[in-house]
Amino acid sequence: MSTTPTFGQRLREATGRLGPLCAGIDPHRALVESWGLAYDLDGLRAFTRACVEAFGGHVAVVKPQSAFFEVFGSAGVAVLEEAVRDLRAAGTLVLVDAKRGDIGTTMDAYAEAFLGKDAVDAPDAVTVSPYLGYGSLRPAIDLAEQTGRGVFVLALTSNPEGPEVQHAVRDGRSVAGTVVAGATADNATAAARGELGHVGLVVGATVGTAVQDLGLDLAAVNGALLAPGVGAQGGTAEDLKRVFGDALSNVLPASSREVLGAGPDVVALRDRAARTSEAMAALLS
């Protein structure tokens, strides 16, 4: 039996040590330029290095948005890979927000790219999209378990268009309900050991009563619940308690804009992240 810590164990350890915050690295044009940087490869590199220096070893989880690096081509992806490597070396878990999803050999390749044992500068986890069917994610889910990594599956998002797909019902169960059921089943072995599973969900902090309306049991998932929308996007303590209920202890609140607004000064970024993490912990208590 392997003694390598699972993703769930590593996540519990990191958040216990550094707090619950998942800090984003979102170098979109407006934010990069607000830091006084040019929106080019050098600006991307400077922005990312400041975030890595500020967050590495000080924040439990960092979530780079892959698209903002991919827009600069292979050189931008190289900046992302360097950030992943440096953050992990500093003791911070990295969740690449890539939202990959496909079928067959294409999904196999996505899984190997982000989660495989030979992946280049592989992160600790990746976001995936289940809207070709939860079963289409099997290559990523299984490979993540084998390599001690995690996946975060989109379940209930707060964008206005989300409900038309996620709330749709077939054979008495919503699409979101199918995703929740799949994650619950995949985390069952970890649950039996009293550990957090390797399959997390993305559930917006501002989805209102959707969890109750759809009859979802998020506590039974026994996985981390990435919660965008807290802080600057309006999510409050009341929102978190309404949305997550008994699963509140598994919530991983995500904040990008609120923290990154303190840049470009590294010390200011680090201080803002620390204060935000403390505020998130208070919201979850």
CATH of the domain at 66: 3.20.20.70
The answer to whether residue 1 is domain-embedded is no
The tokens describing 28, both together, are 């979109």
Q: Contact at 8 Å (CB) between 97 and 64?
A: yes
Q: Is residue 260 part of a domain?
A: yes
Residues in the chain: 285
Residue in the block written with tokens 């407006």: 30
Give the per-residue pLDDT at 235.
63
Instruction: Indicate which residues carry an active-site annotation.
Output: 99
Task: At 18, list the tokens.
Answer: 């550094």
User: Cα–chain-centroid distance for residue 148?
Assistant: 16
Quote the pLDDT of residue 242. 86
What's the CA gap between 280 and 93, in Å, rounded? 18
Whether residue 2 lies inside any domain: the answer is no
Domain that holds residue 279: 7-284
Domain count, the chain: 1
Residues 216, 23: Cα–Cα separation, whole Å: 27
**Bridge pairing between strands 251-255 and 150-156:** unpaired
Strands 169-170 and 173-174: antiparallel
- The DSSP result for 75-140, as a single string, is HHHHHHHHHHHHHHHTT-EEEEEEEE---HHHHHHHHHHHHSTT-TT--SEEEE--TT-GGGGHHH
Indicate whether 191 belongs to any domain: yes
Let me know if residue 231 belongs to a domain: yes
**Is residue 207 in a domain?**
yes
Per-residue confidence in pLDDT tens, the chain, 285 aa = 457 899 999 999 999 999 999 999 999 999 999 999 999 999 999 999 999 999 999 999 999 999 999 999 999 999 999 999 999 999 999 999 999 999 999 999 999 999 999 999 999 999 999 989 999 999 999 999 999 999 999 999 989 999 999 999 999 999 999 999 999 999 999 999 999 999 999 999 889 899 999 999 999 999 999 999 776 556 667 778 889 999 999 999 998 888 999 999 999 999 999 999 998 898 887
SS3 at position 61: strand
Residue for token pair 């099997």? 138
Terminal alpha carbon distance of the chain: 36
Angle among Cα 269, 271, 276 to the nearest 5 degrees reads 95
In a domain, 148, yes or no: yes
Q: Taking the C-alpha atoms of 83, 85, 86 and 88 in order, what is their torsion angle to the nearest 10 degrees?
A: 110
pLDDT the model gives residue 158: 87
pTM of the model: 0.96
Bridging pattern class, strands 150-156 and 199-203: parallel
**Strand ranges, E, within the chain:** 22-25, 61-64, 93-100, 125-128, 150-156, 169-170, 173-174, 199-203, 225-227, 251-255
Give the helix/strand (H/E) hosting 43.
helix 41-55
